Each structure stands twice: as structure tokens, then as C-alpha cells.
Amino acid sequence: MSVTRETLIDFIYDEVRMLGEGRYTEWLDLWLPDGHYWMPLDYQQTDPINQTSLMYEDMFMLKLRVERLNGARTFSQKPKSRCHHVIQRPFVDEMDTEAGRFVTTTFMHYVETRLDEQQLLAVTARHELALVEGRLRIANKRVDIVNCDAAFRNIQLLP
């Protein structure tokens, strides 16, 4: 597989669509086994290990989240939360085709709703992607919320 800028941009659009359509199991398959989903607590936070984060989930935690979201008996998800992403065209920040490593940045507005509650977040998503066995995979994803220092209700889904 040859990776172009358009390939990377399409990948990000496809990921967002999977999340918006609730195709979480398919979304989980995009990830490398050692990947991490990180949502820092502080603006320009640099350390997910020694500083508190809103979310820092490895594959085990992501699988638990997806099982909960897909679960028929998950009462906190009755009715299920829904989300919508409005994204700008992703920027391709790094393209190392020889190493199969790529980095993109995407600015987006994320809306999550359930019952009478709706939450709007302005976020920046940074994807580290890797080409593995001819397929693009998410190595790491960092999602920075513009007002990360505000008090939030639970974020059930995934910006």
C-alpha cells in the first residue's frame, strides 16, 4: 500500500464516521495493540504518566469502553449516547513513508448527546499512524480540549 496525503486524510474522515455511527468494534480494530488514547487535563500537558489526564487509555481500557458502549445491559447507556464530529480537513504534519510513520492534526467540534443533555467540545486531535502489514493503524491518539481546565460532565464516547 502506498500512503499519500489523501490516504491519511481519508483515514481520519473514516475514523470519525465510525465513531459517529457507533461502529466502535470496527474503530477498535484500527488501533495497534500498544496504542494509547490520551486526553490531557492541562493545556499543553506533556506527560500522560506523571500528570493527571482526563483520559489515558491503553487497549485494555479501550476494549472495556467499547464493551460498555456495545453492551445490551449497560444501564448508563440507556438510551445510548450519540455523537457528531464536525472536522476541518486534517493537516498532515509528518510523513515518513520509509519508516511507515505518519502524524496528522485535526481541529474539530465534537457534540455528544444523551437524553436532554448535550455537550459541545472544541478539540484538536493528533494522530500518530503506522503502516503495518499494508494497513494504516492508529499508534497513538491525543485529543486536546480547548477548555480542558473546565468542569465537564462525563464524556461517554470518543472525540
53-57 and 82-87 strand pairing: unpaired
pTM of structure: 0.93
The percent of residues above 70 in pLDDT, for the chain, comes to 100
Structure confidence by residue, pLDDT tens digits, 104-136? 999 999 999 988 889 999 999 999 999 999 999
Structure confidence by residue, pLDDT tens digits, 42-52? 999 999 999 99
Alpha helices in 5-100 (DSSP H): 5-20, 24-28, 59-70
